[in-house]
């Protein structure tokens, strides 16, 4: 390996966390439901998240395949560009259609980055001869992501107290910075494996192989199922945590401060996750891979169960643990599956995992939106039924993963 190539890849490794940092500065994250609820009905606000998930679902696998064929850098450039452009629809939109178009673009942006960013990191480490650092580098990237999420959550809550639209202007600027950082990253070796050709039939065969790889390998199949449901249960608290806080605050006067409370809770949530990531390596060594993943999943479903007990502002403290399961699971899943995958199916597999998670979550959100009707704001008695349903489904899922992990010796 030439010194120039090594230097380029080492620079990539230094720049990558900053790209993740800028990409994670979503200042609207802590107030998005409250913003849409102020413009539309709660049912429409829930459906907007379903639109986002369906959009990501549609683009998920094609974007992963595009990343494997055209390269990581161009895919991430498109992702950051769409992430900035979608904010125009939130800033100037006045109806459900405009907001839906914004969420459609946001979903495409997320899909383009999903899997591609992690594949870029692994291939960069491999090109630099440092692939054995993948767990540590994934944890480092997640710490940058959590830090950005904490900053943007608290900042977004404070900004939204004065003007909701300011959070979208700030997010647009952050995505522009992510675009600048990715321009300075040098793509590693081409993603297509050696020996591939350009014949039409071969291309169709490779596409089929890359899409179905996760269903043929036993370990990859388990990780695919686990990652799919872990995504869904992780986002239940994100979608329904804000209306829970809004209702728990009670009077109209205290609800006026909901944006600040929601932003503060989200920021503290990311801070707790940063602390969790600091001990995750030791926990992983003590519990083993399957042990730490199941522990993380148990935390996810427990959050839904606690919120379903009573509409109390004190119980909202459980939301501080919402991102802890990600710190305990996501880096280790990525580190475990990537060595089992080839360059020309790595991003596709990771995108397939996100695709399935979003499909299932979108279906459940549609059911929740239908059940909630047009009542505004979303009352706790309806919210309680929704959260209880997710909790019961989580218990069944946990039992399934626990039993199959023992059989497969994950």
User: 253, exposed or middle or buried, with CB in 10 Å at 0-12, 13-18, 19+?
Assistant: exposed
> 307-325 burial by CB neighbour count: b if 16+ within 10 A, else e?
bbeebeeeebebbbbbbbb
Cβ atoms within 10 Å of 39's Cβ, excluding its own: 17
Please report the pLDDT score of residue 197 as a whole number: 45
Model confidence, pTM: 0.68
Collapsing DSSP to helix, strand or coil, 344 comes out as coil
Distance CA 126, CA 72 (A): 15
pLDDT along the chain (410 residues), means of 10: 70 91 88 80 79 81 79 90 93 90 92 86 85 85 86 83 86 94 79 44 50 65 87 84 74 56 74 84 88 93 90 80 87 82 71 79 82 70 90 94 77
Please report the pLDDT score of residue 205 as a whole number: 45
Please report the pLDDT score of residue 267 as a whole number: 76
Please report the pLDDT score of residue 377 as a whole number: 65
Distance CA 338, CA 232 (A): 22
Domain boundaries, the chain: 3-185+205-408
* Tens digit of each residue's pLDDT (9 = 90 or more) over 373-406: 656 567 788 888 999 999 999 999 999 999 888 7
Please report the pLDDT score of residue 77 as a whole number: 93
Please report the pLDDT score of residue 88 as a whole number: 92
Q: Which CATH number fits domain 3-185+205-408: 3.10.450.50, 1.10.10.350, 1.20.1250.20, 3.40.50.720?
A: 1.20.1250.20
């Amino acid at each position: 390996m030439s010194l120039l190539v090594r230097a380029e890849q080492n620079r990539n490794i230094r720049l990558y966390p900053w790209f993740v940092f800028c990409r994670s500065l979503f200042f609207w994250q802590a107030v998005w439901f409250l913003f849409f609820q102020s413009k539309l009905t709660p049912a429409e606000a829930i459906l907007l998240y379903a639109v986002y998930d369906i959009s990501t679902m549609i683009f998920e696998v094609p974007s992963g395949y595009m990343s494997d064929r055209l390269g990581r850098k161009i895919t991430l450039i498109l992702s950051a560009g769409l992430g900035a452009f979608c904010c125009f629809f939130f800033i100037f939109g006045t109806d459900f259609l405009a907001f839906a178009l914004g969420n459609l673009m946001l979903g495409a942006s997320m899909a383009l980055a999903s899997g591609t960013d992690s594949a870029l990191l692994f291939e960069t480490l491999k090109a630099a001869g440092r692939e054995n650092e993948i767990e540590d580098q994934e944890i480092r990237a997640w710490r940058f992501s959590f830090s950005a999420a904490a900053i943007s959550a608290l900042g977004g809550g404070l900004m939204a107290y004065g003007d909701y639209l300011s959070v979208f202007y700030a997010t647009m600027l952050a995505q522009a910075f992510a675009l600048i950082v990715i321009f300075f990253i040098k793509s590693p070796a081409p993603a297509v494996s050696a020996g591939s050709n350009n014949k039409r039939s071969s291309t169709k065969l490779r596409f089929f192989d890359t899409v179905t790889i996760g269903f043929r390998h036993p370990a990859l199949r388990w990780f695919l199922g686990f990652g799919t449901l872990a995504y869904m249960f992780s986002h239940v608290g994100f979608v329904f945590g804000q209306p829970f806080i809004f209702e728990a605050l009670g009077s109209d006067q205290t609800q006026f401060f909901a944006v600040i409370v929601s932003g503060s809770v989200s920021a503290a949530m990311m801070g707790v996750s940063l602390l969790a990531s600091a001990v995750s390596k030791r926990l992983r060594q003590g519990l083993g891979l399957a042990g730490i993943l199941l522990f993380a999943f148990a935390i996810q479903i427990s959050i839904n169960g606690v919120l379903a007990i009573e509409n109390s502002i004190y119980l909202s403290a459980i939301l501080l643990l919402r991102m802890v399961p990600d710190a305990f699971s996501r880096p280790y899943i990525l580190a475990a599956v990537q060595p089992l995958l080839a360059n020309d199916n790595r991003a596709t597999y990771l995108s397939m995992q996100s695709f399935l998670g979003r499909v299932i979550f979108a279906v459940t959100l549609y059911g929740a939106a239908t059940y909630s009707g047009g009542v505004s704001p979303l009352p706790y008695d309806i919210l309680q039924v929704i959260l209880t349903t997710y909790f019961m489904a989580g218990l069944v899922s946990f039992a399934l993963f626990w039993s199959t992990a023992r059989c497969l010796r994950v």
